[in-house]
Structure 1
Amino acid sequence: MADLFDTPPDPGSGASAATPEAPPEAPRPLADRIRPRALAEVVGQEQVLGPDGPLGAMLAAGTLSSLVLWGPPGVGKTTIARLLADASDRAFVQISAIFTGVADLRKVFEAARLRHGQGRGTLLFVDEIHRFNRAQQDSFLPHMEDGTIVLVGATTENPSFELNAALLSRAQVIVLERLSLADLERLAQRAEQALGRALPLDGPAREALLEMADGDGRALLNLVEQVDGWRLTRPLDTRGLSTRLMRRAANYDKSGDGHYNLISALHKSVRGSDPDAALYWLARMIEGGEDPRYIARRMLRMAVEDIALADPQAQSICLHAWETYERLGSPEGDLALAQAVIYLALAPKTNAGYVGWKAAREAARRSGSKPPPKHILNAPTALMEDQGYGAGYQYDHDTEDGFSGQNYFPDGMKRPVFYQPVARGFERELQKRVDWFARARARLSGTKPPAGD
Structure 2
Amino acid sequence: MTDLFGQDAPQAPAAAPDSDAPLADRLRPATLGEVVGQEHLTGPQGAIGRMVAAGRLSSMILWGPPGTGKTSIARLLADAVGMRYAAISAVFSGVGDLKQAFAEAEKMAKAGRKTLLFVDEIHRFNRAQQDGFLPFVERGVVTLVGATTENPSFALNAALLSRAQVLILNRLDEAALSALLAKAESLEGPLPLTASAREALIAQADGDGRFLLGQAETLYAAGLSDPLDPGALGQFLQRRVAVYDKDRDGHYNLISALHKAVRGSDPQAALYWLARMLTAGEEPLFLARRLVRMAVEDIGMADPHALPQCMAAMEAYRFLGSPEGELALVQACIYLATAPKSNAAYLAQKAAWKAAKATGSLAPPANILNAPTKLMKEIGYGAGYTYDHNAADGFSGDNYWPEGMAAEAFYAPVDRGFEREVKKRLDYWDKLRRTRG
Verify same fold: TM over 0.5.
Answer: yes
Distance between the aligned counterparts of 1:25 and 1:191, measured in 2? 16
**1:312 aligns with one of 292, 304, 318:** 304
Distance between the aligned counterparts of 1:390 and 1:213, measured in 2? 73
**1:48 aligns with one of 35, 38, 41:** 41
Partner of 2:71: 78
**1:207 aligns with one of 187, 199, 220:** 199
Partner of 1:269: 261
**1:147 aligns with one of 140, 143, 147:** 140
Greater Rg, structure 1 or structure 2?
1
Q: CA deviation at 1:169?
A: 0.7
* Unaligned ranges ≥5, structure 1: 1-23, 446-453
TM-score normalised by L of structure 1 = 0.91
Letter of the 2:395 counterpart: F
Partner of 1:158: 151
Q: CA deviation at 1:26?
A: 6.2
Partner of 1:10: none
Partner of 2:321: 329
CA RMSD of superposed structures (Å): 1.2
**1:259 aligns with one of 246, 251, 269:** 251
* Unaligned ranges ≥5, structure 2: 1-16
Partner of 2:294: 302
Letter of the 1:306 counterpart: D
Q: List per-residue Cα deviations over 1:255-280 (Å, max 9, x = no partner).
A: 11111111111111100101110111
Distance between the aligned counterparts of 2:107 and 2:213, measured in 1? 39
Q: List per-residue Cα deviations over 1:281-306 (Å, max 9, x = no partner).
A: 11111110111111111111111100
Greater displacement, 210-219 / 246-255: 246-255
> What are the within-5 Å matches in structure 2 for residues 249-398 of structure 1?
249-398=241-390
Distance between the aligned counterparts of 1:217 and 1:159, measured in 2? 22
**1:246 aligns with one of 238, 243, 257:** 238
Distance between the aligned counterparts of 1:410 and 1:139, measured in 2? 57
Q: CA deviation at 1:25?
A: 4.8
Q: List per-residue Cα deviations over 1:211-248 (Å, max 9, x = no partner).
A: 11110000000011111112222211111111211111
Distance between the aligned counterparts of 2:170 and 2:379, measured in 1? 71
**2:26 aligns with one of 28, 33, 42:** 33
Q: CA deviation at 1:84?
A: 1.0
**2:97 aligns with one of 87, 104, 117:** 104
Secondary structure (helix, strand or coil) at the match of 2:427 reads helix
Distance between the aligned counterparts of 1:401 and 1:89, measured in 2? 87
**1:64 aligns with one of 42, 57, 62:** 57
Distance between the aligned counterparts of 1:156 and 1:139, measured in 2? 21
Distance between the aligned counterparts of 1:178 and 1:94, measured in 2? 23
Distance between the aligned counterparts of 2:227 and 2:290, measured in 1? 47
Q: CA deviation at 1:81?
A: 0.7
Letter of the 1:397 counterpart: H
Distance between the aligned counterparts of 1:102 and 1:383, measured in 2? 74
Partner of 1:448: none
Partner of 2:161: 168
Distance between the aligned counterparts of 1:63 and 1:303, measured in 2? 53
Q: CA deviation at 1:390?
A: 1.1
Distance between the aligned counterparts of 2:20 and 2:186, measured in 1? 17
Letter of the 1:273 counterpart: S
Partner of 1:12: none
Letter of the 2:220 counterpart: D
Distance between the aligned counterparts of 1:106 and 1:69, measured in 2? 23
Secondary structure (helix, strand or coil) at the match of 2:105 reads helix
Distance between the aligned counterparts of 1:403 and 1:412, measured in 2? 24
Q: CA deviation at 1:392?
A: 1.2
Partner of 1:232: 224
Q: List per-residue Cα deviations over 1:11-66 (Å, max 9, x = no partner).
A: xxxxxxxxxxxxx9561111111100111000001222222222222222332111
> What are the within-5 Å matches in structure 2 for residues 184-223 of structure 1?
184-195=177-188, 197-223=189-215
Greater displacement, 222-231 / 47-56: 47-56
Letter of the 2:349 counterpart: W
Secondary structure (helix, strand or coil) at the match of 2:325 reads helix
Partner of 2:422: 430
Partner of 2:170: 177
Distance between the aligned counterparts of 1:46 and 1:436, measured in 2? 63
Distance between the aligned counterparts of 2:396 and 2:404, measured in 1? 19
Letter of the 2:183 counterpart: R
Secondary structure (helix, strand or coil) at the match of 1:209 reads helix
Distance between the aligned counterparts of 1:295 and 1:248, measured in 2? 24
Distance between the aligned counterparts of 1:86 and 1:410, measured in 2? 74
Letter of the 1:289 counterpart: G
Q: List per-residue Cα deviations over 1:343-391 (Å, max 9, x = no partner).
A: 1100000000000110111111111221111111112234333432111
Distance between the aligned counterparts of 1:243 and 1:224, measured in 2? 15
Secondary structure (helix, strand or coil) at the match of 1:332 reads coil
Letter of the 1:381 counterpart: T
Partner of 1:21: none
Distance between the aligned counterparts of 1:25 and 1:143, measured in 2? 36
Greater displacement, 212-221 / 89-98: 89-98
